[in-house]
Structure 1
Amino acid sequence: MSDADTANGGGDKTNINIRLTEAFLEDIDATWKDEGYNSRSEFIRDALRDAVKHPDLSRESWKEIAAVEHARRTGESETFSRDEILGDDE
């Protein structure tokens, strides 16, 4: 459980309603399943928690982070050694 979940003294949850297009909801459903979340709610809580904890990141930054993480999890990204990343030529 995160700090945000326990900050209210026990994790009591409140339901909220949001309106989304069907296409966006389909994207959300595909994403939470692909990323290994147990439920849509868990995925959305995690996304909202990240947005609240890191408000200084732009929407584009979040998109880039999500794309890189997805590529890493699905094996679609290249693997680099520590030395390659740091530029150590020794």
Structure 2
Amino acid sequence: MTSSTKILNEMWIAGYTVSKIAEIYGVKEATMRKRIQVHRENNPAMWPRRHKGKKNKLYYRDYQCRKCELKFAVDLDFKDQEDICCPVCWESVGS
């Protein structure tokens, strides 16, 4: 990840609006939306979806289970993200 992309990612994670990021970079908002879209397609784990809302924004990352390929989301506060499996497979491993 280049330093420019890293800074862009940090602003994205911090909750800057796309229009504010575009203003900082000196580009049109549509250009910045496309740039972020490309980054999210290439590396969705580093570019989580954001929810519009009040002060309590929820941040999560999308994952795909390594065993059954089910797609699910995990909160960014979840620490151990090395070997993620979905809740269904997790329950079957525990029993």
Answer 1 or 2: which has greater strand percent: 2
Answer 1 or 2: which has greater helix percent: 1
Query: What TM-score results when the alignment is normalised by the length of structure 1?
Result: 0.31
Query: What TM-score results when the alignment is normalised by the length of structure 2?
Result: 0.30
Larger Rg: 1
